[in-house]
């Protein structure tokens, strides 16, 4: 793990000893640092994938892009700490999802698929207090406690203005890799109804709505469902199974 000051900007989790890495996963988010994705990273790594969490692109997009490119451009290696083999998938949360979609739409090479969690297409109005922001982020009491105790999580970031041009860049028709959308059906930051047209316009994508889920699908009370759904997607990429053009499923809590 590497950090700027006290804020981790790069974290990684590797597959269990003795298991050949099955692919590479890179995770960007918003308002949160790389280590916040530890629970998701460990769970995906346990299934044999090499996982990296990078810095918040809304703080320094060039730094985040440089981190992603350095990982994607490395020669696949089975050594711990190195980038793993294909498929190489970006798993973006919130504006991290928007950033990842824009990269692929602009033709970024070396990306084999996208998982977009809580994709935002509009700025959320208002500026809730921290307790309200926690409730918007996640219904998981464990994750709320972690965020509340972490002074390096940027409070107020969730309702900040979306970076200029990012929504326009994330052109769904230009995204030529398979896409999995993970979205809370009760997401008040990015309502599920607002993103359906985006997923319908993808050449190869599916949208999974989690019944009762709120914004941070990777760290909500249903985080195990989100991780399991992501692993199924990764496995389908590995074997080349085609995705349905759009599939909207309500996954019960």
- Each residue of 172-223: pLDDT tens digit? 999 999 999 999 999 999 999 999 999 999 999 999 999 889 999 999 999 9
Check whether 3 has a pLDDT greater than 90.
Answer: no
Residue-number span of the structural domain to which 91 is assigned: 2-251
> With bands split at pLDDT 50, 70 and 90, how would you rate the model's confidence at 31?
low
Q: In what order do the strands lie in the sheet with 205-210?
A: 2-4, 7-13, 49-53, 23-27, 88-93, 113-117, 179-184, 205-210, 248-251
Tell me the CATH number at 228. Answer: 3.40.50.1820
CB burial of 139-151 (b: ≥16 within 10 Å; e: otherwise) equals bbeebbebbeeee
Residue 217's pLDDT is 92
| Per-residue confidence (pLDDT) for residue 4, from 0 to 100 | 43
Q: Is the pLDDT of residue 149 over 60?
A: yes
The confidence score (pLDDT) of residue 245 equals 43
Domain count across the chain:
1
Res 246: pLDDT: 43
The answer to whether 170 touches 102, Cβ cutoff 8 Å, is: yes
| pLDDT, tens digit, 9 for 90 and up, residues 183-193 | 999 999 999 99
Q: According to the model, what pLDDT value does residue 83 have?
A: 64
| Winning range, highest mean pLDDT, from 8-22, 76-90, 213-227 | 213-227
Residues 87-108: tens digit of each pLDDT: 999 999 999 999 999 999 999 9
Note the pLDDT of residue 108: 92
Residue 124 has pLDDT above 70, yes or no: yes
* 86: confidence class by pLDDT, cuts 50, 70, 90: confident
């Amino acid at each position: 793990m590497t950090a700027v000051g006290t804020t981790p900007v790069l974290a990684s989790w590797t597959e269990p000893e003795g298991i050949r890495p099955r692919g590479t996963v890179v995770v960007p988010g918003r308002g949160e640092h790389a280590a916040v994705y530890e629970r998701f990273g460990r769970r995906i790594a346990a299934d044999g994938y090499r996982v990296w969490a990078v810095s918040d692109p809304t703080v320094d997009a060039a730094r985040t892009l440089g981190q992603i490119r350095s990982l994607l451009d490395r020669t696949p290696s089975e050594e711990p700490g190195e980038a793993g083999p294909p498929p190489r998938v970006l798993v973006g949360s919130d504006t991290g999802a928007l950033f990842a979609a824009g990269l692929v739409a602009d033709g970024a090479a070396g990306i084999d698929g996208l998982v977009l969690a809580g994709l935002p297409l509009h700025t959320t109005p208002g500026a809730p207090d921290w307790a309200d922001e926690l409730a918007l982020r996640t219904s998981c009491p464990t994750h709320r406690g972690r965020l509340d105790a972490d002074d390096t999580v940027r409070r107020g970031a969730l309702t900040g203005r979306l970076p200029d041009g990012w929504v326009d860049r994330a052109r769904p028709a230009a995204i030529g890799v398979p896409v999995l959308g993970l979205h809370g059906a009760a997401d008040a930051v990015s309502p599920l109804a607002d993103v359906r047209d985006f997923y319908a316009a993808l050449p190869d994508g599916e949208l999974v709505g989690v019944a009762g889920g709120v914004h941070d699908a990777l760290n909500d009370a249903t985080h195990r469902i989100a991780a399991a759904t992501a692993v199924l997607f990764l496995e389908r990429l590995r074997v080349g199974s085609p995705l349905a053009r759009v599939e909207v499923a309500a996954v019960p809590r």
